[in-house]
């Protein structure tokens, strides 16, 4: 049975999350920017039979509070740790889509000895990029000026052109509910963030399940994080858990088993 809860982040913001199932290893799912914990509904149904499954709304998203000053990626990581602490989770696999992947990495760094590994979903195709402050300022300004239009354009870029229009429309409807000010704060908080620097400090495996809209540089990833690996889903966009949930769940189950037996 799924139960909904609230806890307090380190900065006092209310963080909403749901817990389902039960099991020694907990799966903690972290959504991407402008999304919410409902993006993982198909995974809750699939994995709650054998695992404790926790889905988190990051600050400014879903049912969580938006009264935040520091919108940085490490602060989002602290949101995830707050949930893990509230639930007393001691053995976890963190699963993060898009922005949720670096957030999961930051959370893992805050919880040494408690995380078996991080699963990045359509993220870390390359570590060779930087989020330049000026570009993030421009993006924040654009979303404040025309949030509806910017979200619509963003969603079109995240799917193959022949993707199911109903899945695309559902993702867009959910993303349109994120407050524009929270979205702008997120972009500004990402300015200057170096995902490679955080990944280098990981002491647990980082495994990506990526679509093929952009090629994944596995060798380059291993130069950053020695336990990096990637599973590629053919003809898949940014949200494999929405587009082909059964296929995605099978690949995720295999990755989770790899992480579990490695310990």
Query: Is the Cβ–Cβ distance between 127 and 224 less than 8 Å?
Result: yes
Enter the pTM of the model.
0.97
Query: Is the Cβ–Cβ distance between 47 and 6 less than 8 Å?
Result: no
pLDDT value at position 130? Answer: 80
pLDDT digits (tens, 9 = 90+) for 67-91: 999 999 999 999 999 999 999 999 9
- Domain ranges for the chain, please list them: 3-130+193-262
- A 10 A CB-CB count for 181 gives 14
Classify domain 3-130+193-262 by CATH architecture: 3-Layer(aba) Sandwich (3.40)
pLDDT value at position 118? Answer: 98
| CA–CA gap between residue 111 and residue 84 (Å, rounded) | 9
What tokens were used for 108? 């893992």
**DSSP string for residues in 29-82:** EE--TT--GGGGHHHHHHHTTTSEEEEE--TTSTTS----S---HHHHHHHHHH
Give me the phi and psi of 4, to 5 degrees please. Answer: -100, 145
pLDDT value at position 262? Answer: 73
Torsion of CA 71, 74, 80, 83, to 10 degrees: -80
DSSP E strands in the chain: the ranges are 3-8, 14-21, 26-30, 52-56, 92-97, 115-121, 206-210, 228-232
Residues of the chain with pLDDT under 70: 263
pLDDT value at position 213? Answer: 95
- Sheet holding 52-56: strands in order across? 3-8, 14-21, 52-56, 26-30, 92-97, 115-121, 206-210, 228-232
pLDDT value at position 150? Answer: 98
pLDDT value at position 263? Answer: 63
pLDDT value at position 131? Answer: 83
């Amino acid at each position: 049975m799924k139960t909904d809860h609230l806890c307090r982040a380190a900065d006092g913001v209310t963080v909403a999350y749901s817990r389902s199932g039960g099991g020694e290893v907990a799966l903690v799912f972290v959504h991407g920017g402008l999304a919410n914990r409902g993006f993982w509904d198909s995974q809750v149904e699939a994995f709650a039979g054998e695992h404790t499954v926790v889905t988190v709304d990051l600050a400014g998203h879903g049912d969580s509070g938006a009264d935040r000053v520091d919108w940085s990626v490490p602060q989002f990581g602290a949101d995830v740790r707050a949930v893990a602490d509230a639930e007393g989770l001691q053995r976890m696999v963190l699963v993060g889509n898009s922005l949720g992947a670096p957030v999961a990495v930051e959370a893992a760094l805050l919880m040494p000895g408690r995380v078996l590994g991080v699963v990045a979903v359509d993220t870390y195709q390359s570590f060779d990029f930087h989020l330049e402050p000026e570009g993030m300022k421009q993006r924040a300004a654009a979303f404040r000026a025309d949030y509806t239009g910017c979200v619509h354009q963003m969603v079109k870029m995240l799917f193959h052109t022949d993707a199911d229009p109903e899945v695309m429309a559902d993702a867009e409807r959910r993303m349109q509910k994120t407050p524009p000010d929270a979205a702008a704060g997120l972009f500004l908080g990402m300015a200057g963030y170096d995902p490679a620097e955080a990944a280098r400090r990981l002491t647990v495996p980082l495994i990506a399940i990526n679509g093929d809209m952009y090629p994944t540089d596995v060798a380059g990833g291993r130069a950053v994080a020695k336990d990096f690996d990637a599973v590629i889903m053919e003809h898949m966009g940014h949200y494999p858990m929405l587009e082909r949930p059964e296929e995605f769940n099978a690949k995720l189950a295999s990755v989770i088993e790899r992480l579990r037996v490695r310990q």
